[in-house]
Amino acid sequence: MARARTVLVTGSAGRLGRAVAAELLARGHRVRGFDRVVTPGLPESSAGDLTRPADLARAMAGAETLVHLAATPDEADFLTELLPNNVVGLYHALEEARQSSVTRVILASTGQLFRGHPGPFPITPETPVSPRNWYASTKVLLEAAGHVYAHVHGLDVLVIRCGWCPRDPAHAAELAQSPYGKDSYLSPGDAGRCFAAAVELELAPRFAVVHATSRPVGSPRYDLGPARALLGYEPRDRWPEGLELAGGGGATEAHRP
C-alpha cells in the first residue's frame, strides 16, 4: 500500500477533477478540492479563484502534493479567460507550491500540443510540439514553467499530457466523429488511475513528461510506454467504456487532444 498523502486537486469540480479526487480518496489519501465552486461529494473542498493567491494559500496549507488540473479549455477568449486562468492562475499555483510544504506537483497538459501533427505515430514525449491555438500555447507555457520549478526551485514535477476526455454528451459526439478521437480517448477512470499513480510514485524524477490515454480502438496515437515505465500505468478502458462517468459540470478544466 502506498503511503497516504495530503493532496490538493485544483479544478476538482470538473470531470477530470472529480475522477482524480475519487480515485485518490478510494486509495486512502486525504484530498482537498479547489475550484470556482465547492466540489460535490468531497468533504474537504473550497471555492476560490486561481488569480487570488490568498485563496490558493488557504487551500494548499499542509498539502504535500499539488495536482493542478484547473484551466479554461479549448479556444476560449485569451485575454478574459485563458490569460487569467491558464497563465496567471498557473503562476500563482506554482508560486504557492514553492512557498508551501508541497514537494511534488503534477500538471495536466494536453494532446492539443500536437493538433494537426502529420506523424509518425505514436507521438512521444520527445516529439516537437506543434500547438494550433492559444489554449494549447498556454499548455506549452505550463510545461516550460514546470521545468523551471523543477530545476530552479527543486520541486518534483510530473506533466501528464491528457488525451480526449469528453466533458459532456456533445463533446463525446464530437470525439466519435473525429478520425483520431477513439484512439485518443481518455476515460475518467483511466485518468483517475494515471494521476493517482503519479501521486503515489515513490522515487520521482525531478521532471518528467508522459502521455495518458485509454486503450486505442485502432493504432495508438500517443506512446504510453513512458507512463507504463515510470508510473506503472496500464489503461483499462477502450472507447466508449467509462463514458458514463464523463458528465458535465466541470468548472475550470477540460482536455481534448
Per-residue confidence at 247, pLDDT binned at 50, 70, 90? low
Give 214-226 pLDDT, tens digit per residue: 999 999 999 999 9
**What's the confidence (pLDDT) of residue 45?**
96
> With pLDDT > 70 as the criterion, what percentage of the chain qualifies?
95
Q: What whole-number distance in Å separates Cα of residue 67 and Cα of residue 89?
A: 13
**C-alpha cell recorded at residue 12:** 476538482
Are residues 86 and 75 in contact, defined by beta-carbon separation less than 8 angstroms?
A: no
CA 191/CA 125 separation, integer angstroms: 18
> Whole-prediction pTM value?
0.94
Contact 243, 98 (CB under 8 A): no
Would you call 149 helix, strand, or coil by DSSP?
A: helix
How far is residue 120 from each of residues 111, 123, 213, measured CA to CA in Å? Answer: 15, 7, 18
Measured CA to CA in angstroms, residue 2 lies from 129, 136, 191, 202, 233 at distances of 34, 33, 18, 8, 15
Ramachandran angles phi, psi of 178, nearest 5°: -75, 140
Domains within the chain, CATH numbers bracketed: 6-245 (3.40.50.720)
Greatest CA separation for the chain? 47
Specify whether the CB–CB gap between 143 and 159 falls below 8 A. yes
pLDDT tens digits, 177-230: 999 999 999 999 999 999 999 999 998 999 999 999 999 999 999 999 999 999
